[in-house]
Copies of this chain bind each other. A is one copy, B any other.
Amino acid sequence: MDIASLLGIILCFVMMIFGIWNGAGIENLVKEYADVPSAIITFGGAFAATLTSHSLADYINGLKSFTLVFKAPALNTTEMIRKIIDLSNVARKEGLLSLEEAASDMDDAFLKKGILLMVDGTDPELVRAIMETELVSIEGRHKTCIGFWDTLGAMGPAWGMIGTLIGLVDMLYHMDNVATLGPAMAVALITTFYGSVLANAICIPVSNKLKADNEAEMMLKEVMIEGLLSIQAGENPRVIEEKLKSFLSPKDRESAGGDAGGEE
């Protein structure tokens, strides 16, 4: 459970409701700020335009990826490095074939696949090619999800503005009744408000988080590829450790074991 994103989204709505409560009074929260037709046109338009932008499968995957934001990554890089060093020790003592057993305990399918390729005696160049193709296509799938949220985040304010224009045009045709002018314009602005909230409380932060998660996962998978290929090349476990620790910050390096590294 990644508490940051959940807390962030909740706090965004707390701030918004606080602003309404402080300004208009909580009794006007629903009366002034909740307008079902405005919500339908803004959210409906934004989701419909996003539906046009993607195939149905990508659209559904995009929607589903919302929950990924709250999921903590299963493994961190420090643990993964320790695991690979263990594997390199096993491989050195008992041979590459002994890794088959170790692989059966692995949770991570990517690492497991790499080990099985090695155990099968696949050529190192081919192991690297297969694992990098997989890495690239995983990233491609991640980017499709990120693209969903980017599109929705751009379409929210756009359809908010379309709703506001619809309201303004009608208001301008009925300017004789001054008493209704204010409320009519207020209703027109509500769609802009909804579009901004959709983009800035949900879509843009979710897209940012998915980008950060993708980068962390790509880095972790690169550690795995480097590590496995070093094991296959029969490199010294100490050298492998040195190599892999370069991916870590000096602070994390210490908790993973050994010697100091460079960065102020």
Q: Which residues of A contact B (CB under 8 A)?
A: 2-5, 7-9, 11-12, 14-16, 18-20, 22-24, 28, 32-33, 37, 40-41, 44-45, 47-56, 58-59, 69, 74, 108-114, 116-117, 122, 126, 129-131, 133-134, 137-138, 140-141, 144, 147, 151, 154-155, 158-159, 161-163, 165-176, 179, 181-183, 185-187, 189-193, 196-197, 199-201, 204-206, 208-209, 212, 215, 217, 219, 221, 226, 239, 242-243, 246-250, 259-264
Contact = CB atoms under 8 A, between A and B. Distances in A.
A74 to B, nearest CB: 6
A142 to B, nearest CB: 9
Nearest to A235: B126
Contacts of A212: 53-55, 58, 144, 147
A231 to B, nearest CB: 15
A166 B11 contact: no
Contacts of A69: 52
B243 A112 contact: no
Given A49-B204, A110-B261, A193-B162, A170 B23 contact: yes
A23 B2 CA distance: 42
Contact of A28 (B2, B170, B206): B170
Nearest to A159: B200
A206 B204 CA distance: 21
A205 B52 contact: yes
A262 B169 contact: no
24 contacts: A4-B54, A4-B56, A5-B53, A7-B51, A14-B48, A15-B48, A19-B166, A19-B191, A20-B166, A24-B169, A33-B169, A74-B264, A109-B262, A110-B263, A113-B259, A116-B259, A130-B242, A133-B243, A141-B263, A154-B204, A158-B196, A159-B200, A165-B193, A168-B189
